[in-house]
A and B are shown apart, each in its own frame.
Chain A
Amino acid sequence: MFLIIGLMVLSTISSYLLKVEGQGNQVVFRVGWGGTSFDTFNPFTTIAQISLWSTSDVYDYLVRFDKTYTNFIPDLAVSWEEVNTTYIVFHLVKNATFTDGVKVTAEDVKYSFNLALQDWSRLAPNLKGLESCDVIDNYTVGFKVKSIPMFMIMGATAVPIVPKHIWEKVENPATYADNPPIGSGPLMVTEYKEGQYIVLERNPNFFRKSWLPHVDKIVISFYSDTSSAANALKAGDVDAVGPYIPRAMIEGFQSDPRFKVVVPPAVFYYYLSFNVYPEGLGNPTLRDVRVRQALAHAVNVTYLAEMSWDGFAKPIATPVATSNPFHNPYLKPYTFNLTLANELLDKAGYKMGSDGVRRAPDGTPLRYTMLVPSNLPELVRVAQQIATWWKQVGVDAKVEAMDTGSMTAKIWVKVDNTTTLGHDIDLWDWFMTPSDPTFLSIFLSNQVPTETSDSGYVNETYDKLYEDLFNAPDMETARKIAWEMQEMVYRDLPYINLFEVSTPQAYNVRFTGFSTDWPGGPFGGYDWTVFLEARLAEATTTTSAITTAVSYTTSPTSTQTTTPPAVTSVTSTALSTTATPSGMGASTITMVVAIVVLVVIIAGISWYLLRRR
């Protein structure tokens, strides 16, 4: 055991030392990530957005989305034909190889879809309508599906093609770490350190040369929070940051000529959920839709959006993002009208009590607890603001901020081995799917035991519609069904949808080629083209501005690379001056000398003191 630990310590240290032997003249594009860090390369079990994004060009897919989410771009499949309304055939490229040199064939495609269908796969719900997959010949594969448009948007674009010859030898693919990943895409992973960084380089054998990236290396480094990542951008440690830059820093980046701020379509949103579960334990008055409607009229969504994400948040009336093709644009948030809210409650028979809190005819007071995750400070403030409005309509809401663990424990409680909902109201956020309607599954009746539904909405018609969605013969029908589902939850109000946030990102103008149309933005969103498009800006006038950074396109100073490590501090200072023409030399010398002197002093003192008397 100690041997293992010792070896690992040594390898860590040596990995740092090996860094030095780099060649010059490389263009490196570096992205700093301040969100949840990379989890695993296994594309079937990953849950982190950053993992999906980082590896979006490591694996090939049958087809790719364009940025409108309505057209498809050939990837591994050069062409495809619909034999009839339930059968589709894909013709694969013939010169695709995995990075280990093995050819990509129809067998790999079938195997990958088979993996994606397994219980443990995150992609299984996407493939609800897939009935069979047939290998027609080495480079032709056919799918029998319930709905071709749904298969295209949820299957063909979503299932990564992994090498069968590697995965079938894996004992348990559900726990396989897949490091380093073997794919057939334009990029490959050359280095990875958990929670620290990942290095991607171009795959020289990739079959479509026009897709190969313009930069030599892509480095994504993980920071513990968005501020640190933004600081790294400022200091020149990275060239772009995601998932967003903190609000206080937006202005600074906007006014700095070295950086550019982009505001992409939103992928996450905040909502307020009522416990409407028939068997739920919360305050029963919330199961009365008239109460929920009155409460919805007592929330000023526009004010909240402005208060928490000034200019970057947009009120939203459905759980489907505005950029999603399935979004119902005709639904508008409930109007903010406290008088109307009061009237509605009066009409419904909830009389005002002497203490300013309304009571149901059976005497239950309209007193609720609102749970909010404490790691979303802006949402805590939203909840506090909502509570003050509700007070004016005779509803007493108490805000309780807590960590998400405690929150889940309070929402989904076990009574006699069945899961039920124990809370009144919670406020939370969801990441929304950009291209498909699967997100509507949060309101399915059977979602309480899976701890997905925090509203406990139960409606058989809704469940039926969701099934129909996967049988829709064409896109138009599918969209209509999705719209109807959105109208239902809009009317029944299991959620008050608050607002979606378009999170601003920033990049260094040294690089260019980024699109701002992809949901979630170019850095860490759903944009799979960013690595392929990123390139150095032609006019490199700003290079001098990045004073603190090591120069990345620097030519190798070959005379110094062979410097023996065992030199005295005097020679080292001389060398370091010549090696750093950027002008940072002086402070470095001081630092090196100071550290060397310090170490000598400390070593001397300890030796002297610890001598046996």
Chain B
Amino acid sequence: MNVKPMLQSLSEFWRVYRENKLGMAGLIIIVVYVIIAILAPYITFHNPSETNPSKVFLPPNKDYWFGTNEVGQDLYALNIYGTRISLIVGFLAALVATFIGTTIGLVSGYYGGLLDEILMRTTDFFLVIPPLVLMIVVGAILGPSMTNAILIIGMLSWSPTARVVRSMTLSVKERPFIESAKAIGASDFTIIFKHILPNVMPAIWANMTLAVSTAIFSYAAMIFLGVGDVNDVSWGMILHYAFTSGALSAGMWWYFVPPGLFIVLLTFAFVLVGYSLEELFNPKLRRF
């Protein structure tokens, strides 16, 4: 594929996207989060793993902006460092989900027939199973590690992407340029990846953004329930400890509220971006 038209369409896309206020707001929030994650060591004043038995459960003060937890760790540092894990898990899990979903959607839509039937039944199966329940169970089986969490979340949330990609593939397949590509003897592989994929790409982007928000949420939920690696500093872990240590019931809002706000704002940003993208590609939803 030519680089120039792609760039052109990208800048064209950017021009349209810029007009979308909500989408831009979401994008800016995400960028801020990424900056926080990168700059974490420079904008915190304590090592997040440093314990201090004489400074437990401190309310917010000028040394510890968000107070301290039950072993005297700085909650502000923990929250800031938590951004890293959440972003990494969110992106990678969404990547896994999108990869699986896209492949299955493309193959099933392009080849059709029995293969399509089997793949779509499988997709339905995964769509019906309550993902969180399965994640908890599988997480308990595979053992707690970030890699496992990423794989589990990725492998259990590809079905919506697969459905969307399949239906778009079905419509793209009927277009004349596919016919002509077939006529000049292009292989299936070439057709799928050179001709169909670029046309399906916008929908994949929209779905992937939504998948990121689902992944961040699912990861936090897993850790909150105690199925996950408690060594990794993440928002879910802070919430987990806030709940199990009784800090929440003791009314220590500074322990419980900030990580939740971080999660909500970030997932919200991804939902905004995802929805704006969807709106761009599905004119019916467009407001104008």
Contacts and interface: CB of A to CB of B under 8 A. Distances in A.
Q: Do chains A and B touch in the complex (CB under 8 A)?
A: yes
Given A399-B231, A402-B143, A406-B143, A249 B49 contact: no
B98 to A, nearest CB: 29
Nearest to A34: B246
The number of chain A residues touching the other chain, given as a range, is: 20 to 34
B75 to A, nearest CB: 13
A308 B71 contact: yes
Given A248-B250, A377-B245, A403-B140, A306 B53 contact: yes
B226 A247 contact: no
B229 interface: yes
B231 A401 contact: yes
B169 to A, nearest CB: 34
Nearest to A228: B249
B225 to A, nearest CB: 11
Contact of A403 (B49, B227, B246, B247): B227
A303 interface: yes
B20 interface: no
Nearest to B53: A307
A68 interface: no
Contacts of A384: 49, 51
Contacts of A403: 140, 143-144, 226-227
A358 interface: no
B284 to A, nearest CB: 23
Nearest to A407: B143
Given A377-B230, A381-B51, A249 B250 contact: yes
Contact of A307 (B71, B228, B230, B249): B71
A374 B144 contact: yes
Contact of A247 (B70, B140, B143, B251): B70
A225 B244 contact: yes
Contacts of B143: 402-403, 406
Interface string A198-236: 000000000000000000000000000111001100100
Interface string A380-418: 110011000000000000011111011000000000000
A310 B72 CA distance: 12
A405 B53 CA distance: 30
B51 A247 contact: no
A179 interface: no
Nearest to B142: A406
A247 B242 CA distance: 11
A355 interface: no
B252 interface: yes
Interface string A229-263: 01100100000000001111101100000000000
A401 B251 CA distance: 28
B71 A231 contact: no
A554 interface: no
Contacts of B229: 374, 401
Interface string B249-283: 11110000000000000000000000000000000
A229 to B, nearest CB: 10
B248 interface: yes
Nearest to B247: A248
B51 A248 contact: no
Given A230-B246, A401-B144, A248 B227 contact: no
Contact of A230 (B72, B230, B249): B249
B140 A405 contact: yes
Contacts of A245: 246
Contact of B226 (A230, A234, A307, A375): A375
Interface in B204-229: 226-229
